[in-house]
């Protein structure tokens, strides 16, 4: 948003850089979880939504942060890794990577709502209802719905792909399916 524009009104899209006209018309009376009383937007008072580009870069940073060490250790342990070959070695490496990523994300999110990638990109995960970090079950549910479906052969990757692309068309909160499952939203970490 340019500084020469007036501040957005109460019905303006929350992500401030959205040019999508459908962002101005929230579903289900402002909530993806059902009807709410008029004027009780759970997002009111939170920082702007995290930009999709920042979210993508944060995921890439986290994937490299976990993938490189896991790949190196597993290459030594199982004696090489070919991701195209569907043998026991590649399945084992994939399984270990998914479990390590799940533990990493779950622990980081339940601590303060940020992974290393999210900290670098200055975004954080917040509970939609109150803006607090997703401590406890919400952080683990979000991590599980993001990481664990890849364990399921074939359809796990398809679910993961739909999950991460969901935020590109979801309105008004730009949530992925793992956000919807945990009732979280990604917001800017700087006011």
Q: Which of 25-39, 59-73, 100-114, 147-161 has the lowest mean pLDDT?
A: 25-39
Give me the pLDDT at residue 82, please.
67
pLDDT confidence tier of residue 110, bands split at 50, 70 and 90: very high
- Of all residues in the chain, what percent carry a pLDDT higher than 70? 73
Give me the pLDDT at residue 120, please.
97
pLDDT confidence tier of residue 83, bands split at 50, 70 and 90: low
Rounded-to-integer distance, Cα 131 and Cα 186, Å: 10
Is it the case that residue 141 has pLDDT exceeding 70?
yes
Rounded-to-integer distance, Cα 50 and Cα 15, Å: 7
Give me the pLDDT at residue 167, please.
95
Of residues 59 and 79, more confidently modeled = 59
Is it the case that residue 78 has pLDDT exceeding 70?
yes
pLDDT, tens only, 12-70? 444 444 444 444 444 344 444 444 444 566 767 789 999 999 999 999 999 999 999 99
pLDDT, tens only, 43-54? 677 899 999 999
Give me the pLDDT at residue 40, please.
61
Contact in structure between 13 and 172 (CB atoms under 8 Å): yes
The pLDDT mean for the chain works out to 82
Rounded-to-integer distance, Cα 139 and Cα 145, Å: 10
Of residues 72 and 4, more confidently modeled = 72
Q: Is 122 exposed, middle or buried (0-12, 13-18, 19+ CB in 10 A)?
A: middle
pLDDT confidence tier of residue 90, bands split at 50, 70 and 90: confident
Query: What residue ranges do the domains of the chain occupy?
Result: 47-188
Phi-psi region at 131: left, alpha or beta (left = phi > 0; alpha = psi -120 to 50): left
């Amino acid at each position: 948003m340019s500084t020469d524009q007036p501040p957005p009104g109460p019905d303006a899209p929350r992500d401030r850089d959205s040019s999508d006209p459908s962002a101005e018309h929230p579903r289900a009376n402002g909530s993806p979880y059902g009807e709410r009383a008029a004027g009780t937007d759970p997002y009111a008072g939170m920082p702007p939504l995290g930009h999709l580009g920042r979210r993508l870069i944060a995921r890439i940073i986290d994937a490299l942060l976990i993938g490189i060490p896991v790949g190196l250790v597993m290459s030594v342990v199982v004696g090489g890794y070919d991701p195209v070959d569907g043998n026991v070695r590649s399945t084992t490496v994939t399984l270990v990577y998914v479990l390590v990523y799940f533990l990493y994300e779950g622990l980081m999110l339940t601590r303060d709502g940020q992974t290393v990638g999210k900290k670098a990109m200055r975004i954080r995960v917040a509970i939609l209802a109150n803006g607090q970090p997703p401590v406890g079950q919400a952080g683990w549910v979000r991590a599980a719905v993001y990481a664990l479906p890849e364990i399921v052969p074939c359809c796990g990757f398809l679910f993961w792909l739909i999950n991460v692309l969901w935020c590109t068309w979801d309105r008004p909160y730009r949530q992925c399916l793992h956000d919807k499952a945990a009732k979280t939203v990604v917001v800017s970490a700087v006011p």
